[in-house]
Structure 1
Amino acid sequence: MAITLSRIRAVNAVAHTGSFAAAARLLGVSQPAVSQHVREIEREFSVRLFLRKNGVLHPTPLCAHLCDIAERMAEGEREAERMLTRHTTLLDGRLSIGLGNSMPGMAVIAAFRRRHPTVSISVETGSHEKIVKAVLAREVDVGVLPDVPVDGRFRSELLVRQDVVAVVHVENPLAKEESLTCARLMREPLIFRSRGSSTQRVVDRAFRSAGFGPEPLLMLDTRDAAYEAVANGLGVGFIWRHGTGRTDAVHRIPVKEMSRLYDEVAFTLADENTVVVSAFFSTVKALAEAQAEKPAVRSLLQPEGGFHDAKRWSTSGGAPSF
């Protein structure tokens, strides 16, 4: 039979207390259960764990080594309990968040910090594909992404609806345009994102629907690299309208074939219902509702004209803020 945690705990308790009865009281189990665990190990492995002297059980050298292992296991259990507890309390909790875009996720994190300043937050960034996988593998507690697939494994809370727009350098002649088409963009050097990007999926879909198969000037792994390429005048790139709070050197321009609005949501696994995760979802809901109730206020979650009125959204490149 295997060396189980129950057996190891029994041996360790007897070594510390000197008797089966005291070990049973310490563990909250019956005395026969403790003595049985010890006797089974001795019988199955042909070893002696205790020697009785003056009515007290003393561990043998072998047992002492076994107890050292038991102490390390007990500390591991205590650390696991501490880790799990920190996900069930807002006083000293922890929350890990995966972001596909720095915004609007960072705005939600800022609002959550104002509500719950004692919660420790870690943030992982990456492509759409990477963050979805991280949530599925429980490597992060919550993800914030646009265009999350409808999937029974997830539960989600709407944050904002937004489209993908073209971004050009302020000195690019296209910066004067109020809107663009895929046909017009085919005459420009294009900067694409690599596989796994939600932005690129929308861009690819738009060009295919318009009957084009563009060859990009550059294909870059990260949104920051794509943004920097545009900011340095290398060509036309694409971003989610609120994917960054940066306003330097570029203009955002709507593209006719990319005018569809996609939901950006906070999402987690359907069975993830810890106190900390629930508090984060409450923050997302409150933030979105607060913006919806103030249509005249220009904010990250509701740009000029409201996020249902794409035609009135600003194309100056200025990012709304709270």
Structure 2
Amino acid sequence: MRPNPHQFVAFAYVVREGSFSAAANRLGVTQSTITQHVAKLEAQVGSQLLIRGRGGVSVTRTGQEFFDLADRLVALESAIAERLEGFETLEKGHLKVIANAPQPALEAIRDFAARHPFVEIDFALHDWTTATRLIRERHVDVGIITDAPMSEDFEHVPLQQISYVAYVHPDSPLAQRTELSLADLAHQTVILPEFGSLTQRVVSTALKSHAITLPRTLRMTTFPVMCEAVLHGIGVAIFLSRSGRLAQSLVEVPIRELSAQHEISILAPKDRARLRLVQAFIDCAERLAA
């Protein structure tokens, strides 16, 4: 049986948006239409593609294989539509952007939104492992990632080099130091991001390499929460330097064992990177980094 492109498009949007209702809203059709398209596609494939749950939908292994193809079809249809419509000023559209740290993602979003105020942007922060997986599985349009994995399937645009630092309360004696060692933090409560973060991996590797132990650590979900914890006197946070405006109230102190530079870059599937919405966002990020 010849595949129905409408079924693939409906399926792709359900995965990208996370629910049947959100996909219907994005495509401007009824939820029952989306449900019927996906059901017919599953019947034709002969296997379940989506698992429905209270929190939305998840993709089966077969579903992920078909989503990779379906999302490429959506990108191709978008490219064809752009050619037919011409390359006039961007007045509408939708972008899904993720990052593993607030900066420079929020600066790029601010600049893009000022230039294209009618484009809807969904933005989310994720730990490094989740962020790279979402990009690799094509669930987003653009990712701004530290030490992004390299692949011929993705457009890779370097933005800046950055290193890890200790974020210290300005009243702490450590704030007067020009450099710290991880050993200097052995008597401190050290605040780290959640498991799966690049920070956690980098710090763990450095501790093992230098035979240093940090007896008291706390895990927190996002960098802003980590900064709030430092401001409340809970401890010292380790994260990438210049990661957010909230940190301007804190003192950044370099850490000797974490002095290596890490690259922040934009990552996008190559077929999506050619779409004018995605390219416009990449251009904004590059201008800010220049």
SS across alignment from 2:203: helix
Higher relative contact order (CA 8 A, sep 6+): 2
SS across alignment from 2:271: coil
**Cα shift at 1:242:** 1.9
Residues in 1 aligned to 2:223 and 2:132: alpha-carbon distance in whole angstroms: 17
Partner of 1:214: 214
Letter in 2 for 1:230: V
Residues in 1 aligned to 2:3 and 2:240: alpha-carbon distance in whole angstroms: 53
Over alpha carbons, which structure has the higher Rg?
1
5 Å matches for 1:32-181?
72=33, 85=78, 88=82, 90-181=90-181
Would you say the 8 A contact 1:103–1:242 is kept in 2? yes
Q: CA RMSD in A?
A: 3.1
Residues in 2 aligned to 1:138 and 1:192: alpha-carbon distance in whole angstroms: 28
SS across alignment from 2:246: coil
Residues in 1 aligned to 2:242 and 2:126: alpha-carbon distance in whole angstroms: 16
**Cα shift at 1:249:** 4.3
Residues in 2 aligned to 1:159 and 1:5: alpha-carbon distance in whole angstroms: 40
C-alpha spacing 1:250/1:277, structure 2 compared with 1 (3 Å): same
Letter in 1 for 2:154: F
Letter in 2 for 1:231: L
Partner of 2:287: 286
Residues in 2 aligned to 1:189 and 1:276: alpha-carbon distance in whole angstroms: 44
Between Structure 1 and Structure 2, the one with more helix by share is 2
User: Percent of aligned positions with the same letter in both sequences?
Assistant: 26
Residues 170-210 of structure 1, C-alpha deviations (whole Å, 9 max, x = no match): 21111111110122122322222222112222222222222
Residues in 1 aligned to 2:157 and 2:121: alpha-carbon distance in whole angstroms: 19
Would you say the 8 A contact 1:231–1:248 is kept in 2? no
Give the gaps of 5 or more residues in structure 2.
6-31, 38-72
Give the gaps of 5 or more residues in structure 1.
7-70, 290-322
**Cα shift at 1:113:** 2.1
Would you say the 8 A contact 1:97–1:140 is kept in 2? yes
Residues in 1 aligned to 2:174 and 2:115: alpha-carbon distance in whole angstroms: 42
Partner of 2:187: 187
Residues in 2 aligned to 1:201 and 1:101: alpha-carbon distance in whole angstroms: 15
TM-score by length of 1: 0.61
Residues in 2 aligned to 1:72 and 1:130: alpha-carbon distance in whole angstroms: 31
Would you say the 8 A contact 2:78–2:275 is kept in 1? no
Higher deviation after alignment, 128-137 or 85-94 = 85-94
Letter in 2 for 1:274: L
SS across alignment from 2:124: strand
Letter in 2 for 1:284: A
Would you say the 8 A contact 1:191–1:219 is kept in 2? yes
Letter in 1 for 2:256: K
Residues in 2 aligned to 1:84 and 1:242: alpha-carbon distance in whole angstroms: 39
